Chain A
Amino acid sequence: EAQVTQNPRYLITVTGKKLTVTCSQNMNHEYMSWYRQDPGLGLRQIYYSMNVEVTDKGDVPEGYKVSRKEKRNFPLILESPSPNQTSLYFCASSRDRIGEWYFGPGTRLTVL
């Protein structure tokens, strides 16, 4: 089954404790992207990747890092999480630039 998986689905952590949210897709897609969704603000792009080792900043990259060492994986790293990073995070992938996007189930992160 074609899918994008994210882990963990729910995470409660404390300020400053490094964390990684994993994202994996099994469709051999080249394009992958991370979004955060906050009430009243809609979806905002954090980082995106056009292929292995090629990443670029989205609209709200501050406080986040990503890597794309393999085509299928695109982890999101919060080196020192802060409460303003409490949000719902989505990973997505697409075959090409204007193709259909497939979304992961979301990760609800709370930073205390």
Chain B
Amino acid sequence: KNEVEQSPQNLTAQEGEFITINCSYSVGISALHWLQQHPGGGIVSLFMLSSGKKKHGRLIATINIQEKHSSLHITASHPRDSAVYICAVNRMDSNYQLIWGAGTKLIIKP
């Protein structure tokens, strides 16, 4: 079993819909990251969380440390949000490695 699991693997939605992508992890962590990878390949960090909730524009990320679960929400989705969204965690007891989820491929149709 992977230490970081994302769901769904693939998600197709219509423009304007509210999107939720989930990330569950099985290890103790010191931080959780959400990143975005566009079809062109570049990877951009969206959020880094150790507790609570963060918001940036139409993106909201939440984390529940007790449940070992995080969600990434996109409000009023737009075709330009189409990308792969990746969850990664810093293990609390580890060195300096990130453990990566497999990613969620999101397609927003106009």
Q: Is the interface of A mostly helix, strand, loop or mixed?
A: strand
Interface pair B31/A102, CB less than 8 Å apart: no
CA distance A92 to B35 in the complex (A): 13
Interface pair A48/B96, CB less than 8 Å apart: yes
Q: How large is the interface on B (under 10, 10 to 19, 20 to 34, 35 or more residues)?
A: 20 to 34
Nearest 6 pairs between A and B by C-beta? A98-B31, A103-B43, A106-B41, A98-B90, A43-B100, A100-B45
A23 at the binding interface (Cβ < 8 Å): no
A79 at the binding interface (Cβ < 8 Å): no
B66 at the binding interface (Cβ < 8 Å): no
Chain A residues with CB under 8 A of B31: 98
Chain A residues with CB under 8 A of B48: 98-100
Count of CB-CB pairs between chains A and B under 8 Å? 52
Interface pair B97/A88, CB less than 8 Å apart: no
Pairs A–B under 8 Å by Cβ, sample size 5: A58-B97, A97-B30, A98-B31, A99-B48, A106-B43
Number of interface residues of A (CB under 8 A): 24
A binding-site residues for B, Cβ under 8 Å:
31, 33, 42-45, 48, 50, 56, 58-59, 88, 90, 92, 97-103, 105-106, 108
B binding-site residues for A, Cβ under 8 Å:
30-31, 33, 35, 41-45, 48, 50, 86, 88, 90, 95-98, 100-103
B4, closest chain A residue (CB): A42
Interface pair B97/A48, CB less than 8 Å apart: yes
CA distance A44 to B99 in the complex (A): 9
Interface pair B95/A88, CB less than 8 Å apart: no
